[in-house]
Structure 1
C-alpha cells in the first residue's frame, strides 16, 4: 500500500468514526429519554388494566441503563409519580381541600421509593447490579419501606405466570434481575412471549361457589349513613342475592359504618331463619383509636373476622398520634391475621390499601388460603384509576396462586 493510498484510507476511517460531538449529543439526550420512558412505563403499567401490568417490568431496565445516580433518581421518580398519579386528586377529594395537599403527599410518598433505588444504583455492570436491584425490590416489598411500596413490578407475576404460584414469583424475580444485566434483550423476548401467551388465553379468576360480592355506588355516604332505611336497603340486597343462590355475600369496606351491639342485633334479626352469611366492612372504635375491620354476620352470631393490617397511611394510619400520647387514627395490625377461617374456608382478606402493596398478599399466600376476598371504599378516587389498579392487583394475585376471588367496592 503506497503512502498516498494509506493516507486516504486513514482519513476515510477517521471521518467514518463517530466524533466527540455526536457522542456528547447522544449522552446529553440519554437521560431525558430514559426519564420520559419511565413516565410512560409508570402510566401504562399502572393504568388499571390487569394485562398491562407487565409493562412495569421495563422499569428495572431503565434504572440499570441510567448513566448516573442523578438520572437514576429522575427515572425512579418519573416511574413512581406516574404510577401513583391519581393520589393528588384523591387526597384532595378525601380532605375536601385543594390540590396542593395532595401534591405534597404525592411527592413525600415517593421519597422512600426514590431513596432506595438511588442508594442501590451502581454504574458498574454485571451481577452486582442485578443483586442490587433485587435488594431494592425486596426492601420495597417488605415493611418498613414496603408500607409505601406501590407500583411494585413483581405484581406482574400473575399476568406473566398465571397458576405458577411461588415458582412464578421466583421466575419474575429472575426476570427483573436479567432486565438489569447485559442479557436484557433475551429477557425482553422471553417475557414478551409469556405476556402474549397469557393475553391470548386470559380468563378472569373464578368465583367460589355460593359466594358473591356486591359493588355499591353510594359515594361518600357509605360508612357515614346510619339511618335504619340505609341498613334495610342493604338487607334487602342480601335477600335478593340469596334468592339467586348465594350463601356468602360480601359488602365493601365501611359498608356498616360504626359497628355496635345494636347494629349486630338488627342484622341478626333480619337474617333469622336463613343460612346466609354476610361479610361487610365496619369500624370498631375505642378510646385510643379504631380498627378497620371485616365482620361476619349470621342469624346465630356476629364476629369480627379480620382487622386490617395496613390502613392508608396519613389519612387513616397516624402512628405519630400514639407516639405523642394522643389518641385517634386507625391501628395497623401489620403481620396479624393474614388468613381467617369462615365455615371451614380459609380466607385471605385484602382491604383497600392492602391491594396496592406487596407484602399483605404474599403473607396471606404463605398460609395457603382457599379464596381471596378484596374489598374497598373508593368514593374519594372518583376520576382516577386507583380503584381499577386495586382490582387489577387483586386479580393478578388470584391468578398467580390460582385462587378464587371475591371483590366488593364502593365508588
Structure 2
C-alpha cells in the first residue's frame, strides 16, 4: 500500500479501535477515548478529519442498530439509518471546526467539545471524551472538569505526547485506587430482569409483584426504594390508588418510572409514593431518546404523540430531606443533563433505565460506566435501578 494511503487507513483504523475500547462499558477504559482528539488533530485534511470522526463515533455507538431492531421488532435497516443519521452532527461539527492552523486548533477543538455537550448538537452528543474526567480526576469536581478541558486542548497541540503521558499517570493511579460510588444510607435501587414486559404488562398481578419487591427491599432496611424506568407503566388514577393504598404497609418512599399520557403526547417520568399514602410526579425526563421517543416534527404536521422533552427543567428534585439529581436512560449518555444537575450541588444521583432492548449490546454497560464516571468526578452517592 502506498504511503499516502497507509496513513489515512491507519488513522481510521485507530479511531475505530478507540471508539470500541473506550466505549466498551468498562468505566476504567473511558480514558482511551482521549485518543480521538489526537487523531483528529493529526489528520492532514478536513475530509480525513471527518472520516476519523465518523470512525470513532460509529464504533462507540455500534450497539444502536441492533438495539433499534430489537425495540421495533424489525430488521436491521431502520437501526442502521438512525445510526448513520445520529453520527452526522458529530462528524459535521468536527469536520467544520478542523483546521491546519496549529495556533487556533486547541480553541477550535474545545469549541467542538462544548457544542457537542449542549443542545442542539448535544442532543446526540454520545461518546464525549470529557466523560473520562471522572476516571482521571475523581473527586475533583468542577476543577477536574476544567483540567480535563485544558488537557483536551493540549492533546490537539504539538505537546500532545507530554499531555498523554500525564494523563496516563493519572489513569494508572486511578485504576490502582479505584472504588465504586457509594450507595447513600437507606436507599436501594432495584434491578429487574423482566425484559420487554416491564411497563407493557400492566395487569394487577404485575403491580402486586412490584409491590412485593418493594416490601422485600424495605424488610432489608431500605427507606427509599427506586424502581426502573417505566416500571409502573401508565400512571393512571387506578394505578396511583393501588400503590397509595398499600404504601401505609411499608415505612418507605417508592420512586418509580412511569408514563404520563395525554391528548398531545406523553412524559417519561419518575413518580413518588410516600409513607402517608400520597403520590406525585417527581421528575419529567429532560431528554427522551431522539427519534424513537422524542419526535418534535409531529407537531409541525398537525400530529400528536411522542415524548415531550423538558430540556433544562427540574435538574434537581427533593426526596425527603435530600436533593437528588435524576437521570432517566438516554440522559446518562449525554453531557448537559448531569452537568446542569451538578450546578445545583445535589446530595445524590438517581439513575434509572429500561434496557431490555439492548440485549447483546454494550449500551446498558456504557450508560452505567458514564454515570459512574460523572458521580466519581463530583464525589456523589449513586442509586441505580435498571431493567434488562
TM tier, shorter chain?
Answer: over 0.9
Question: For 1:152-231, what aligned pairs fall within 5 Å after superposition?
Answer: 152-231=128-207
In the other structure, the counterpart of 2:238 is 262
Question: For 1:131-150, what aligned pairs fall within 5 Å after superposition?
Answer: 131-150=107-126
Deviations 1:8-54 (A, max 9, x none): xxxxxxxxxxxxxxxx9433311111110000000000000000000
In the other structure, the counterpart of 1:287 is 263
Distance 1:25 1:236 in 2: 67
Shift of 1:273: 4.1
In the other structure, the counterpart of 1:348 is 325
> Is residue 361 of structure 2 the alignment partner of residue 371 of structure 1?
no
User: Contact (CA 8 Å) 1:157, 1:172: kept in 2 or not?
Assistant: yes
Distance 1:317 1:224 in 2: 19
Q: TM-score, normalised by structure 2?
A: 0.99
Q: TM-score, normalised by structure 1?
A: 0.93
In the other structure, the counterpart of 1:101 is 78
In the other structure, the counterpart of 1:299 is 275
> Is residue 291 of structure 2 the alignment partner of residue 311 of structure 1?
no
Shift of 1:272: 1.2
> Is residue 345 of structure 2 the alignment partner of residue 403 of structure 1?
no
In the other structure, the counterpart of 1:20 is none
In the other structure, the counterpart of 1:15 is none
In the other structure, the counterpart of 1:53 is 30
Distance 2:328 2:226 in 1: 12
- Figure out how many residues of one structure are paired with residues of the other and give that number: 387
Report the structure number with the largest CA radius of gyration.
1
Of 58, 62, 70, the match for 1:85: 62
Distance 2:125 2:249 in 1: 46
Distance 2:284 2:271 in 1: 9
Deviations 1:261-305 (A, max 9, x none): 111111111121432100000000000000000001023210000
The Cα RMSD (Å) is 0.9
Structure 2 unaligned runs (5+)? none
Q: Which moved more, 1:268-277 or 1:163-172?
A: 268-277
Question: For 1:324-339, what aligned pairs fall within 5 Å after superposition?
Answer: 324-339=301-316
Structure 1 unaligned runs (5+)? 1-23
User: Contact (CA 8 Å) 2:218, 2:251: kept in 1 or not?
Assistant: no
Distance 1:269 1:287 in 2: 28
Distance 2:249 2:87 in 1: 52
Deviations 1:161-187 (A, max 9, x none): 000000000011011110000110100
Distance 2:142 2:356 in 1: 34
In the other structure, the counterpart of 1:26 is 3
Distance 1:179 1:393 in 2: 21
Distance 2:4 2:109 in 1: 23
User: Contact (CA 8 Å) 1:269, 1:299: kept in 2 or not?
Assistant: no
In the other structure, the counterpart of 2:99 is 122
User: Contact (CA 8 Å) 1:308, 1:351: kept in 2 or not?
Assistant: yes
Shift of 1:311: 0.2
Give the SS at the match of 2:310. Answer: coil
Deviations 1:108-162 (A, max 9, x none): 1000000000000011223x00000000000000000000000000000000000
